[in-house]
């Protein structure tokens, strides 16, 4: 399977944002996470009256992919009204699997705000190589 192009990923993330459940913040987020085999997993944010119980779009996409057996990722596109970046928890979750993951932040109108890598957004990240082996 080939890797999807950026316009396809932006459309997928934008479509996912339309499913967001955001009665409190009214801040829709959509994510499209691509596996190394080219499969796209999308996610949206789902809020809850108990705020810590909410889940971000990026983690939704990641958990969907991992639950289907995927562990290697090649691209993440995140769409918000202003091109917002993933939160710290999302960055940490993604870092577990793909520290050098290319990330594109896009506004709902399709304008690209930032193209970067996860390890630039989460400097000195804590990942599997940071854990000491058992003695």
CA distance 26 to 34: 26
Q: Which of 18, 39, 58, 115 is catalytic?
A: 58
Helices 88-97, 57-67: crossing angle, 10 deg rounding: 30
58 in catalytic set: yes
Tokens of residue 8, six digits = 């396809």
Residues classed as catalytic: 58
């Amino acid at each position: 399977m080939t890797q999807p192009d950026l316009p396809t990923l932006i459309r997928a993330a934008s479509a996912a944002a339309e499913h967001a459940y955001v009665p409190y913040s009214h801040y829709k987020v959509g994510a499209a996470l691509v596996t190394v085999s080219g499969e796209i997993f999308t996610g949206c944010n789902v809020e809850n009256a108990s705020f810590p119980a909410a889940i971000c779009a990026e983690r939704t996409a990641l958990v969907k992919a991992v639950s289907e057996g995927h562990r290697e990722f090649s691209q993440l596109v995140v769409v918000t009204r202003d091109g917002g970046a993933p939160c710290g928890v999302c960055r940490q979750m993604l870092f577990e699997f793909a520290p050098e993951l290319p990330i594109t932040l896009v506004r709902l109108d399709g304008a690209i705000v930032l193209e970067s890598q996860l390890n630039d957004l989460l400097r000195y990240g804590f990942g599997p190589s940071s854990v000491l082996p058992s003695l």
